[in-house]
Amino acid sequence: MVVAQLKRQTPSAEVETAPPSGPVAPARRARRPYQPPAGVLASRWMQHLGQLVRALLPPLAAAIVLLVGWYLVAKSSAYLPTPGKTLLSAIELFRDPFYRNGPNDQGIAWNLLASLERVAKGFGLALLIGVPLGFLIGRFAAFNAALRPIIGLLKPVAPLAWLPIGLAIFKAASPAAIFTIAICAVWPLIINTALGVASVPQDYLNVARVLRLREWTVFTRILLPASVPYILTGAKLSLGIAWLAIVASEMLTGGTGIGFWLWDEWNNLNMEHILVAILIIGLVGMLIEQGMTRIANRFDYRHQQGEH
């Protein structure tokens, strides 16, 4: 009884345990992360630097050749400015790109934004018209037989040929330019969408017919997913055509826009600004094309399968 009572009164924290009788294993040291030698790191950095140089050297060499040729031609011409003068003029031009001194005297940024707004509206209109027509042509043989000759007739017409019709219909410069953009940009959307629908394997459509799927289900589950890469390719081509058409349209209609600004600078015989406008038009067109290419690759299942 006394021993049991003493055990109950002894705190558990004060009970000493005997050390293990066997040998004690040494404590394991924490592993340090592997660090390659300095020579290996330097070799990797040199390899990356070499790849960067090889990637940048060709375009840099081409740019130098272009600038040298531009300089030599400018030195022998009384009107063409040198690259240095054009650069100084561009710096002065972009120093205040958002000024307003009246409806016909605005900064370069306002003219560029006006052109981009017209391109967006015209391209959106072409998208709303071209994609449904492309689906009808690719899905139904009757629509294909009816619309193919009309498309073949109207597609080669130059953009500026549509501008007088737009002016006659809308009686205003900006809607006429949007109309010209839409009617010029719609053809790649129609053709590529129809090609995407026609590329769907016939076996898929036969299975849908056996299952008696509704036309809307065939459209959303079979035709649309298979046609998205083709639609985006057509959209990329349409945006390029739209950007070309807006510059030409604005040069003739006046008002605001990068095309109007370029023509106005020609009337002022300001060749530096004309060259700056050409560079801006080319840069914006390149950015539009690269952006659409990235979007098309993002949603192109063929491209993703190739990567895997």
Structure confidence by residue, pLDDT tens digits, 5-46: 444 444 444 444 445 555 555 555 556 655 556 566 667 777
Phi, psi torsion values for 10, nearest 5 degrees? -80, 125
| Domain range summary for the chain, segments of one domain joined by + | 109-307
CA gap 64, 60 in Å, rounded: 6
Q: Quickly list H helices, the chain.
A: 2-9, 38-75, 83-93, 108-139, 141-154, 159-170, 173-198, 202-210, 215-218, 224-253, 258-267, 271-298, 301-307
Over 80: is that where the pLDDT of 268 sits? yes
Q: What whole-number distance in Å separates Cα of residue 199 and Cα of residue 117?
A: 34
Q: Is 100 helix (H, G, I), strand (E, B) or coil?
A: strand
pLDDT, tens digit, 9 for 90 and up, residues 173-214: 889 999 999 999 999 999 999 998 888 888 878 888 888 888
Q: Rounded to two decimals, what is the model's pTM?
A: 0.75
CATH pick for 109-307 out of 1.10.1840.10, 1.10.3720.10, 2.60.40.10, 2.40.33.20: 1.10.3720.10
pLDDT in tens, 56-95: 888 888 889 888 888 888 888 878 888 888 899 889 888 8
Short-list 44, 290, 253, CA closest to 165: 253
- Is-contact 82 70, C-beta < 8 A? yes
Q: What is the structure's pLDDT at 66?
A: 87
Beta bridge partners of 106: 100
